[in-house]
Amino acid sequence: MKKYAFFYSLLCLGTVTIVVSSCGEQAKQAEYAAREDSMKAMVERGKYLAYSVVNCVDCHSQLDFEKFSLPLVPGTEGAGGMALHEAFKGFPGKLYIPNITPAGLGDWTDAEIARAVTRGINKKGDTLFPMMPFHYLNAIAEEDLNAVIAFIRTLKPIEKIHPAKEMFVPMAVFGPLPENNYKNNVKPDTADKVKYGEYLVTIAHCGECHHTKSPEGMPIPGMMFAGGNTESLIPFQVTSANITADSATGIGEWSELMFIAKFRTNAATENLQSKPGKFNTIMPWSFYGTMTDSDLKAIYAYLRTVPHVRNAVEKWKY
Ligand code: HEC
Ligand code: HEC
């Protein structure tokens, strides 16, 4: 009897060990799965920001200048290569937009990418040309920046090396670099529509085109979002709109619904495939037009709160 008891207890012990170790295994699997889910969610968030809000993929891909609002040429996502000196008349040098796929940034650390994005300093420590909107991205929240970096690491590597830039003016003329450490940034609660809208408008750098600028290219105080800047691109010319809530010259008469509809209509495939010739636009409708309704509503809410400026703008002056 004792003998059986001995075997029986051994059997029990074995069963307990198997149960315990399989429980441990299950817990580990669950932890891995949870980590994988949160990584997936982070990459998804980064993709959304990089395509629809901050538009990293807009500037850093080949764009189709013939089609409405310059949609991207599929297969070039993140590979850069757009020659700014060919696209913009009078560009002060020669600059090819860099490749931000893993083939271009493979040896950059996350901290180096974060510094380039938020402070305009490249891996070597040189200042970046401020078309890279680091003055605005200095306000990005750490979790959003980490998400964007996680996403661009998943872009298909495209082996394209572009010639180094040659600028005719020292980078120092583009002003002091932002000092703020993005780790200090606080992301507003989405429930606070106006504050969250301000955050989105900042990181989406809407002001880069929509703040009225002096002939030297400096934003004029009191003319935020009042438009009127003419971009003389080859092969068309377009002037940015007044997007303050002035009723006569801005978007004061637009309802929230009309605002969203404008983005959706302009980003519809048939529009993006059209060839508007000289009546084209640099407003990246194909990218911003994929923002969520709630983000567009927040942007609308914020734009209602900025000073209303009377400034009549003619978008196409042919
Ligand atoms: C409005 C256009 C524009 C947008 C939007 C933009 N970039 Fe850039 N970016 C540039 C230009 C132009 C340069 C080149 C600047 C230079 O070399 O002086 C650049 C440079 C860079 C560099 C440095 C690469 C190198 O090899 O030196 C990185 C990294 C980068 N961008 C990442 C991003 C990320 C990530 C985003 C989105 C969060 C983004 N960019 C959004 C235009 C843009
Ligand atoms: C690269 C420059 C550029 C950026 C960045 C930009 N815009 Fe525009 N936007 C324009 C130009 C140019 C026009 C006028 C031509 C057109 O309607 O497409 C315009 C037009 C508009 C219009 C239409 C106004 C009207 O009267 O028809 C709205 C609304 C608008 N922009 C909102 C925004 C918002 C919001 C952002 C940021 C999320 C933004 N824009 C970022 C260049 C830009």
User: Is 133 a pocket residue for ligand 1 (Cβ < 6 Å)?
Assistant: yes
- Radius of gyration of the chain measured on its C-alpha atoms: 25
User: Is 225 a pocket residue for ligand 2 (Cβ < 6 Å)?
Assistant: no
Sign of CA pseudo-dihedral 200, 202, 207, 208: negative
Q: Counting beta carbons within 10 angstroms of the beta carbon of residue 216, is it exposed (0 to 12), middle (13 to 18) or buried (19 or more)?
A: exposed
Q: Inform me whether the pLDDT recorded for 254 exceeds 90.
A: yes
Which of 140, 226, 218 has the alpha carbon at shortest distance from 178? 140
pLDDT at 21: 60
Q: Counting beta carbons within 10 angstroms of the beta carbon of residue 237, is it exposed (0 to 12), middle (13 to 18) or buried (19 or more)?
A: middle
In angstroms, the Cα distances linking 161 to 79, 95, 105, 286 are: 9, 13, 11, 26
User: Is 59 a pocket residue for ligand 1 (Cβ < 6 Å)?
Assistant: yes
Mean pLDDT along residues 165-185: 91
CA of 240 from ligand 2 middle (Å) equals 6
Q: Residues, the chain, total?
A: 318
Mean pLDDT along residues 205-229: 95
Q: Inform me whether the pLDDT recorded for 9 exceeds 80.
A: no
User: Is 152 a pocket residue for ligand 1 (Cβ < 6 Å)?
Assistant: yes
Indicate the top mutation candidate among 210, 213, 300, 311 to test ligand 2's pocket, ranked by most ligand atoms within 8 A of CB. Answer: 210
Output the residue whose Cα is nearest ligand 2's atom 41: 206
Which of 252, 266, 265 has the alpha carbon at shortest distance from 300? 252
User: Is 138 a pocket residue for ligand 2 (Cβ < 6 Å)?
Assistant: no
Give the pLDDT confidence of 118-151 residue by residue, as tens digits. 999 999 999 999 999 999 999 999 999 999 999 9
Contacts of 121 (CB under 8 A, 6+ apart): 115, 127, 128, 177
Output the residue whose Cα is nearest ligand 1's atom 19: 132
Which of 278, 226, 214, 286 has the alpha carbon at shortest distance from 69? 286
Output the residue whose Cα is nearest ligand 1's atom 27: 122
Residue with tokens 């040189």: 126
User: Is 286 a pocket residue for ligand 1 (Cβ < 6 Å)?
Assistant: no
Output the residue whose Cα is nearest ligand 1's atom 14: 97
- CA dist 2 and 10 (Å) reads 12
- CA dist 153 and 150 (Å) reads 5
**Is there a cis peptide before residue 188, judged by omega within 30 degrees of 0?**
no
Give the number of C-alpha atoms closer than 13 A to the C-alpha of residue 65, restricted to the C-beta side.
Answer: 12
Give the pLDDT confidence of 57-72 residue by residue, as tens digits. 999 999 999 999 999 9
pLDDT at 177: 93
Q: Which atom of ligand 1 is nearest to the CA of 122?
A: 27
Indicate the top mutation candidate among 48, 88, 100, 142 to test ligand 1's pocket, ranked by most ligand atoms within 8 A of CB. Answer: 100
Mean pLDDT along residues 298-312: 98
Which of 214, 263, 216 has the alpha carbon at shortest distance from 243? 263
User: Is 167 a pocket residue for ligand 1 (Cβ < 6 Å)?
Assistant: no
CA of 227 from ligand 2 middle (Å) equals 9
Output the residue whose Cα is nearest ligand 1's atom 39: 56
